[in-house]
Amino acid sequence: MKITLRVWRQKGPEDEGRMVEYRLDDVSPDMSFLEMLDVLNEKLILEGEDPIAFDHDCREGICGMCSLVINGTPHGPEKATTTCQLHMRKFKDGDVITVEPWRAKAFPVIKDLVVDRSAFDKIIEAGGYISAPTGSAPDAHSVPVPKPAADAAFEAAECIGCGACVAACPNGSAMLFTAAKVTHLGLLPQGQPERYDRVVKMVEAHDEAGFGGCTVTGECTAACPKGIPLDTITRLNRDYLAATAGRRKKTR
Amino acid sequence: MAVTGAVLVLYLVAHMLGNLKVFFGPEEINEYAAWLRTIGSPVLHHEWFLWIMRVVLLASLILHITMAAQLTARARRARPARYRHRAKVQGSYAARTMRWGGVIIALFVIYHVLDLTTGTVHPEYEHGDVYGNLAADFAPERWYVTLFYVLAVVAVGFHLRHGLVSAVQSLGLSSPQRARALHLAASAFVVVLVAGYLSVPFAVTVGLVD
């Protein structure tokens, strides 16, 4: 396959950045998108140029490190798939592909396609924990969890924190990520003691980090590689209203 | 946004139902319009109810627009660098036209008040004669006014289609089990509301109201 890439190159946080065009003449349709970038980088290194910086780790779609806005869509054209699991057979011979980093004030570019996602860590630090006795592990059946709650919590827990929701959102909001964490912990009995405290603290951390506000456009859930449903945000709103309306003061 | 929007939606329903009085002839709708000024009497003075409602509506509208502007400003701040390549959005047409649609609706509301409340831009406005004012406003030769009304009402429909679902989600009232029902209910509500509003200019155009 012949592929033309238009890649965002930025030397560092202070650099202005620009799109640079690269041509690859021998791309295998069986390569993953990241492997295609690896091939390009080897070529660039041989030519004495600076390779393109991009984030990646497990390359099996579960770590949340890879990113890239491919042709304007976070993680590329394939639904519910991370960039590392996207294959070149999804593109046509002769395609021109635009590759950009996540764009958000809270995700500043470090270099090329790598952005700093520590804003997510701040949100997690604010409330992504439970109080539980540590030491000996409790029996698996000591705390009963209703099956529907377990299923919904698991669905939300699939969030890998990649930030595609922010990249896709026209408002630059991270509400889907925040809601996934709030839902995951708030549905389980172990998450109840901090439930109403958590939602307020995490939303505060979200707003402080400079993310935008949610207007329920649904772009996030369409781009999410794990298919986190939009309803998690409704759940967050419900808990947030309950917490701030004073009805649950006792638990705060 | 959800609460102020809900106030405005309630008004839209009442306004639409009131409009339908036109199909029962001039006496009935003109009588209805006169009755609106006497609601609450004798506790409330003449037209007081109307003015209280106008103040509530205006306050809701101003708050609604202020919050929309704040959200827009926040969105701009949250993404200072734009994408060079933006894919066709996956969300609904209604969702992505909320802001400009809202601006169009606001401009329409100003025109509408000047047209049929104060009569400033109306060709032959006569206070109290709702039936006559409607018939003159949507007369076939003034097709451009009718067209503008139709476009504005359709814009309201799109705005509400996304607004209703969003409001319910903002207030945390939806659930995965009820999501489908919510979307269907919002669509049905919008279709009925838009049809109700459009029936009046349509009736004048085809000569049903003259």
**pLDDT, tens digit, 9 for 90 and up, residues A88-145:** 999 999 999 999 999 999 999 999 999 999 999 999 999 999 988 888 888 888 889 9
The pLDDT value given to residue A224 = 97
User: Of all residues in chain B, what percent carry a pLDDT higher than 70?
Assistant: 99
**Residue B85 domain-assigned (yes or no):** no
For testing the chain B interface, which of A169, A216, A219 should be mutated: the one with the most B CBs within 10 Å? A216
**pLDDT, tens digit, 9 for 90 and up, residues B29-81:** 999 999 999 999 899 999 999 999 999 999 999 999 999 999 999 999 999 99
**Residue B70 domain-assigned (yes or no):** yes
8 Å CB contact of A105 and B92: no
Give domain limits for chain A. 3-110, 117-129+145-251
What DSSP string describes B150-162? HHHHHHHHHHHHH
**pLDDT, tens digit, 9 for 90 and up, residues B106-162:** 999 999 999 999 999 999 999 999 999 999 999 999 999 999 999 999 999 999 999
Which residues form the domain of B100?
A: 2-79+92-205
Structural domain count, chain B: 1
The pLDDT value given to residue A249 = 55
Nearest-CB residue to A213 (from B74, B81, B175): B74
Q: How confident is the model at residue A252 (pLDDT cuts 50, 70, 90)?
A: very low
For testing the chain B interface, which of A234, A240, A244 should be mutated: the one with the most B CBs within 10 Å? A234
The pLDDT value given to residue A44 = 98
Compute the nearest-CA separation of B15 from chain A (Å): 27
CA distances from B48 to B9, B12, B40, B51, B116 (A): 22, 20, 8, 5, 20
Encode B64-92: b = buried (16+ Cβ within 10 Å), e = exposed.
Answer: beebbeebbebbeebbebebebebebbbb
User: Of all residues in chain A, what percent carry a pLDDT higher than 90?
Assistant: 92
Q: Which residue has the higher pLDDT, A180 or B97?
A: A180
Quick one: fold of A3-110?
Answer: Ubiquitin-like (UB roll) (3.10.20)
**A198-212 mean pLDDT:** 97
Tell me the average pLDDT of chain B.
94
8 Å CB contact of B173 and A238: yes
Alpha carbon distance B183, B3 (integer Å):
19
**Residue B87 domain-assigned (yes or no):** no
Check whether domain A117-129+145-251 has CATH 3.40.30.10, yes or no:
no
The answer to whether residue A250 scores a pLDDT higher than 80 is: no
8 Å CB contact of A104 and B78: yes
**Residue B130 domain-assigned (yes or no):** yes
The pLDDT value given to residue A4 = 98
